[in-house]
Amino acid sequence: MTIKIKSMLSVKVWGDYACFTNPAFKVERVSYPVMTPSAARGVLEAIFWKPEFIWQVEEIHVLKPIRHFSITRNEVNSLQSDRAARQESYRYFADEDRAQRHTLALRDVAYVIKAQIVLRPHVNADIAKYCEQFRRRVRKGQCHHQPYLGTREFSAFFEEPTPADQPIAHSDDLGWMLLDVVYEQDTKVKTLSYWRHDGNGAHLTTGKAEPKFFHARLINGVLKVSQ
């Protein structure tokens, strides 16, 4: 639960390629036509993140026509884990576990992300300082790590938006889109371990991850996110 102290911020992001994978496709990677809110949050956190707040994406403006392209990549079939790798008997040969998979991705993309900073309940601070830190980092091109557009192979670049950055004249019903993955704490469930931040600091806990979806509609190049 978060308290409603917000401030709208915006950033322009672009790149040569992008792939916002639709989880409805089990084997082949097929991108949503536009950036998902979870991918937008990932870009924002790459630029600026603090445990005192969360990012809440409000709108995504599509600046360039939607263009697809297809590639075939070598991937491994088996899911690897660090727990298995710690075992002395562990052996894995990637060359014996490769498979070619098709990817339908996007090319030449650009977006303006509009989002709110929402302080966590235990935080007693002026939200303006976080907003100014974000704006300053965008102006200087600073980031914690290189942002990417869906997958790490597709790097993203960012800058302050200008009045010339207007959404395209295109509308479409995009159907059900991934909003985000919600991590729910439950000490009885050992599905995964993750770091949780609260008034007592950071601590490792267990729980489960649950995907959340919303009905996405692109109206005149603007995707408004239903929370």
pLDDT, greater one: 125 or 224 = 224
Residue 5 sits at φ, ψ, to 5 deg, of -115, 110
Provide the residue type at 123 as one letter. V
Alpha-carbon Rg for the chain, nearest whole angstrom, is: 19
Task: State how far the Cα of 207 lies from the Cα of 187, in Å rounded to an integer.
Answer: 6
Gap between the Cα atoms of 47 and 142, Å rounded: 7
pLDDT in tens, 66-80: 999 999 888 877 777
The model's pLDDT over 110-155, given as tens digits with 9 standing for 90+, comes to 999 999 999 988 888 889 999 999 999 999 999 999 999 999 999 9
In 3D space, the residue among 179, 183, 181 whose CA is nearest the CA of residue 214 turns out to be 179
Instruction: Quote the CA–CA distance of 219 and 227 in Å, as a whole number.
Output: 17
Judge contact between 59 and 222, C-beta under 8 A: yes
Give pTM, 2 decimals: 0.85
